[in-house]
């Protein structure tokens, strides 16, 4: 099995057996890394992060696999699929929103955080203020505040591009390093 990054969102597709990215990462990749490297096979010492659609995926994987990941981040993540029903080939992976609206709700990170409890997961996410995903990231931040879930959220100048993400990853790595040092 291998990761299919094209339009992945990191989830397992219920309609396309070649898109089983959640399973690949949580079962195969984590075990492979732990077997090859001197890693610490403990969720407190493991983090996942990414950008854009896979920023959604990183948070999704961490929320759904809190026994594997203790730390998660997202840079400019598409954290609410409901506003993206006609974009990014998502319907090819999970079906149309008309066919399975509950699946779309359940797979949106903004709804998944309802299952988090304080201390479950160390979270950091950010978005550029001129990024087309800024509003949905701000909405996720506000929801986490209402739920009293600790997290770090950053908005700063930037758009949805590599210049922004190259800067953002520095902050995320510092966040993770501080969590690993505890």
**Which pLDDT does position 8 carry in this prediction?**
65
**Count of domains observed in the chain:** 1
Q: Is residue 56 part of a domain?
A: yes
Count of residues for the chain? 182
Q: Is residue 100 part of a domain?
A: no
Q: Is residue 134 part of a domain?
A: yes
Q: Is residue 21 part of a domain?
A: no
**Which pLDDT does position 85 carry in this prediction?**
72
Q: Is the pLDDT of residue 155 over 50?
A: yes
Q: Which pTM was predicted?
A: 0.91
pLDDT band for 14, please (50, 70, 90 cuts): confident
pLDDT band for 1, please (50, 70, 90 cuts): very low
Q: Is residue 14 part of a domain?
A: no
Maximum average pLDDT range among 11-25, 76-90, 120-134:
120-134
Give the position of tokens 């955080």.
113
176 vs 123: CA distance, rounded Å: 9
- Provide the 10 A C-beta neighbour count for residue 175: 20
As a whole number, the mean pLDDT across the chain is: 90
Q: pLDDT tens digits, residue range 107-127?
A: 899 999 998 998 889 999 999
Q: Is residue 17 part of a domain?
A: no
Q: Is the pLDDT of residue 181 over 70?
A: yes
Residue 130 maps to which CATH number? 3.40.50.1820
Residue 163 or residue 16, greater confidence: 163
Q: pLDDT tens digits, residue range 161-172?
A: 999 999 999 999
Tokens representing 8 are 């992945």
Domain residues for the domain of 149 are: 43-81+105-180
Q: Is residue 86 part of a domain?
A: no
162 vs 172: CA distance, rounded Å: 15
167 vs 92: CA distance, rounded Å: 32
Q: Is residue 32 part of a domain?
A: no
| CA proximity to 123, closest of 72, 78, 168 | 72
Q: Distance between alpha carbon 4 and the CA centroid of its chain, in Å? A: 16
Q: Is the pLDDT of residue 4 over 50?
A: no
């Amino acid at each position: 099995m291998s990761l299919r990054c094209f339009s992945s969102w990191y989830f397992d597709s219920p309609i396309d057996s070649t898109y089983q990215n959640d399973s690949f990462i949580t079962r195969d990749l984590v075990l492979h890394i732990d077997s090859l490297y001197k890693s610490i096979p403990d969720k407190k010492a493991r983090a996942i992060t990414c950008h854009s659609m896979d920023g959604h995926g990183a948070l999704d994987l961490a929320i759904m696999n809190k026994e594997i990941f203790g730390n998660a981040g997202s840079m400019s993540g598409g954290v609410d699929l409901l506003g993206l029903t006609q974009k990014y080939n998502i319907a090819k992976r999970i079906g149309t929103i008309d066919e399975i609206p509950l699946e779309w709700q359940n797979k949106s990170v903004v709804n998944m955080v309802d299952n988090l409890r304080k201390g479950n997961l160390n979270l950091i996410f950010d978005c550029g203020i001129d990024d087309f995903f800024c509003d949905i990231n701000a909405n996720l931040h506000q929801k986490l505040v209402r739920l009293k879930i600790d997290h770090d959220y950053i908005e700063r100048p930037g758009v949805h591009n590599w210049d922004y993400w190259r800067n953002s990853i520095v902050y995320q790595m510092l966040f993770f390093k501080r969590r690993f040092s505890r």
